[in-house]
Amino acid sequence: MKGVMIQGTASDVGKSLIVTALCRMFANEGKRVVPFKSQNMSNNSYVTRDGKEIGRAQGIQAEAAKIEATVWMNPILLKPRSNQDSEIVYLGKSLKTLSGKGYRDTFYEKGLDVIKQSLDQLSSEYELVVIEGAGSPVEINLKDRELVNMKVAELADVPVVLVADIDRGGVFASIVGTLELLEPDERQRVAGVIINKFRGDMSLFEDGIDWLEKKTGIPVLGVLPYVENHMIDGEDSLSISQQFAASKKGNLDIAVIQLPFISNYSDLEPFLYEEDVSIRWVKQASEFGTPDAVIIPGTKSTINDLNTLKDNQIDILIQNYFDNGGYVVGICGGYQILGEEIIDEAGSDTGIANNIVRGLGCIPGRTIFYEEKETVRAAGVYHENTGLSINRKLQGYEIHLGKTVLHQEGCSFLSLENGKEEGYYGRNGHIIGTYLHHLFHNDEWRNHWLNQIRKSKGLHTKETTYIREYLDKRYDEIANRMKEHLNFEMLNDIINKWCSK
């Protein structure tokens, strides 16, 4: 197989972004390139065209590669449901929930088999694969049964490029230390080093490059700049604070409830394109303040996160805010939390069958959790009873276990193309609940909702900001910027020479 694997000295060193950029670089050269990550641990997911679930990073990388995402690009997705347990999504479908130890003890051979199957499938369809590792390749306590780093590079038989994050400090120790802890055959596979997230004067680091190359005998392929607000969806919770910390202080203050097991926070990223919108996270009651709108995002553990809101008394603040006419939106698990009651009939959310918990009571409905998960791309228009005059098509995707049943008629938010009614719309849009992830990626809808809030504050309304075309251009911008600081010719030579061995 022809390709390269991007591994890191630690989590969140920028592997996902670099793979995204490389996919677009190779695609722009006319190569049939494909991203791959054997095993992802993330609650930020992506729904493929055929209704399968993979890690969001691989979905975005497929877009950068100008191809349609499939389950072969991320055959194993682990979605944390607690500090101990994760749901296993296998080839796009939920398989079971296991503890970390249970997964390690019982799933290794099955995991190896599906990784081999996936690599074979991708090699038959594409000419070049860009593989992303996870965490560090030298987690000594996990190395003997790992499915994400050197074992995958060995199965694919591709060279490895090691990425280190200079922004967090200790870059020389992290690179040399990682190489020292690799087995001799693993170290021989490392064909290059990339230093990521560099700020400042590049000339001040030239001596560092020389020292690294002499010390390790491995070429430094590039020192990549720190990309502020790159707008490429993050893979995991480590990206949350970084991506939204840079959100400007605009006239509109949107408070997002930071749930412990938040999922699909990419729902919020379109607000980063709105110049007058400020996104801030609320984790404690003292952080709530007086926002212009409140969003409760999705979660992988609805009842646990609802209980956390109650423990921190954020539930009372949201209820009071709603009673005083505030704007509140709940997406997926957030929609369920806003209802009157949640019934875990199958024990699929908490492991306790028929567990019943009271919600916030802002939406007249109850949610029942069953065993089967709904995973589908969805599209529709505003329900006629919303009174909304804009008749634009909305599209997104659904990933959820529960089904929410409303107690009153004529309050649905959307009429879907499959004939079903979806979500809740009340108080002239002051309260909205929906299972439609990426609701705010629909530009006309986002603008309509924000203009409602602007009017309520006595501010001027704004024209729609269209972000869909910008996103594709952003892939090119990031690829071109990184290519300026990357020895792309040497990387190509490494790939070609390795393949011809």
Q: What is the pLDDT of residues 297-308, one digit of tens each?
A: 999 889 999 999
Q: DSSP states of 244-257 as a string?
A: HHT----SEEEEEE
Q: How long, in residues, is the chain?
A: 501
Q: Please state the rounded mean pLDDT for residues 63-80.
A: 95
* pLDDT value of residue 230: 62
pLDDT, tens digit (0-9, with 9 covering 90-100), for 169-219: 999 999 999 999 999 999 999 999 999 999 988 888 999 999 999 999 999
pLDDT tier at 235, thresholds 50, 70, 90: low
Between 19 and 402, where is the model more confident?
19
Is 230 considered catalytic here?
no
Judge whether residue 117 has pLDDT over 50: yes
Select from 179, 199, 181 the least CA-distant residue to 190.
Answer: 179
Say which range, 98-102, 108-112, 286-290, 475-479, has the weakest mean pLDDT: 98-102
* pLDDT value of residue 157: 96
Give the tokens for residue 451: 């203009």
Is 23 considered catalytic here?
no
Give CA 76 to chain center in angstroms.
15
Mean pLDDT of the chain: 91
* pLDDT value of residue 194: 97
Distance CA 487, CA 79 (A): 36
Judge whether residue 425 has pLDDT over 80: yes
Give CA 8 to chain center in angstroms.
18
The percent of residues above 90 in pLDDT, for the chain, comes to 72
CB 324 within 8 A of CB 287: no
Q: Which of 332, 430, 438, 441 is catalytic?
A: 332
> Taking the model in full, what pTM does it have?
0.84
Distance CA 333, CA 340 (A): 13
Burial of 66 (0-12, 13-18, 19+ CB in 10 A): middle
Q: Which of 400, 430, 437, 438 is catalytic?
A: 437
* pLDDT value of residue 242: 53
Say which range, 39-43, 97-101, 131-135, 335-339, has the weakest mean pLDDT: 97-101
* Best-predicted range by mean pLDDT (48-57, 150-159, 397-406): 150-159
Distance CA 346, CA 356 (A): 11
Q: What is the DSSP letter of 312?
A: T
CB 362 within 8 A of CB 326: no
Strand order in the sheet with 160-165: 33-36, 128-132, 3-8, 160-165, 190-198, 220-225
* pLDDT value of residue 237: 47
Query: Reduced to 3 states, what is the DSSP secondary structure of residue 47?
Result: strand
Distance CA 475, CA 35 (A): 14
Say which range, 262-266, 291-295, 319-323, has the weakest mean pLDDT: 262-266
